[in-house]
Amino acid sequence: MITEQIYFAERDKFAKNLPLIEKIEENYSDILLNDILLPSAENIYKDFSERALKLVPFWKNYPPEQRGRQPIGNSTPWLELGEKTIGSNIIAKLSSRFNDIIFPGLPTGGDIRFATDNVYVHLDIKLTGPNDNPNEVVVPPNQVSGDGKFWKDGILNSSFPILYQSGQKAGSHNYNFQPKLPPLYILDGKPFLCLTFFLDAIYNVTGFGDHPLKHFELSCVPNGLIMFDGHNHSMTKGLFIAGKDDNTKEEGTKRVRVRLTPLASINKWRSVIVYNENGTWKSKQR
User: Is 125 annotated in the active site?
Assistant: yes
Q: Is there a contact between 97 and 31 (Cβ–Cβ < 8 Å)? A: yes
| Residue closest to 137 by CA, chosen among 259, 2, 12 | 259
Q: Are strands 119-128 and 184-187 parallel, antiparallel or unpaired?
A: unpaired
Catalytically annotated residue among 21, 47, 91, 124: 124
Contact (CB, 8 A) for 115 and 99:
no
CA-to-CA distance for 25 and 180, rounded, in angstroms?
A: 19
Return the C-alpha torsion angle 183, 119, 140, 267, nearest 10.
Answer: 90
* Burial (CB count <10 Å: 0-12, 13-18, 19+), residue 16: exposed
Helices (H), 70-223: 79-97
Q: Is 124 an annotated catalytic residue?
A: yes
For 69, half-sphere exposure in the C-beta direction (CA atoms, 13 angstrom radius) is 9
The secondary structure of residue 144, as a DSSP letter, is S
Residue of 36, 90, 112, 125 with catalytic role: 125
Active site residue 35: no
Q: Burial level of 210, CB count in 10 A (0-12/13-18/19+)? A: middle
What letter does residue 222 receive in the DSSP assignment?
Answer: P
Active site residue 245: no
Catalytic: which of 111, 147, 200, 229?
111
Report helix, strand or coil for 175: strand
Within 173-259, strands assigned E span: 173-177, 184-187, 190-203, 213-221, 240-242, 256-259
Write down the catalytic residue from 47, 91, 112, 126: 126
Q: Which residues are catalytic?
A: 111, 124-126
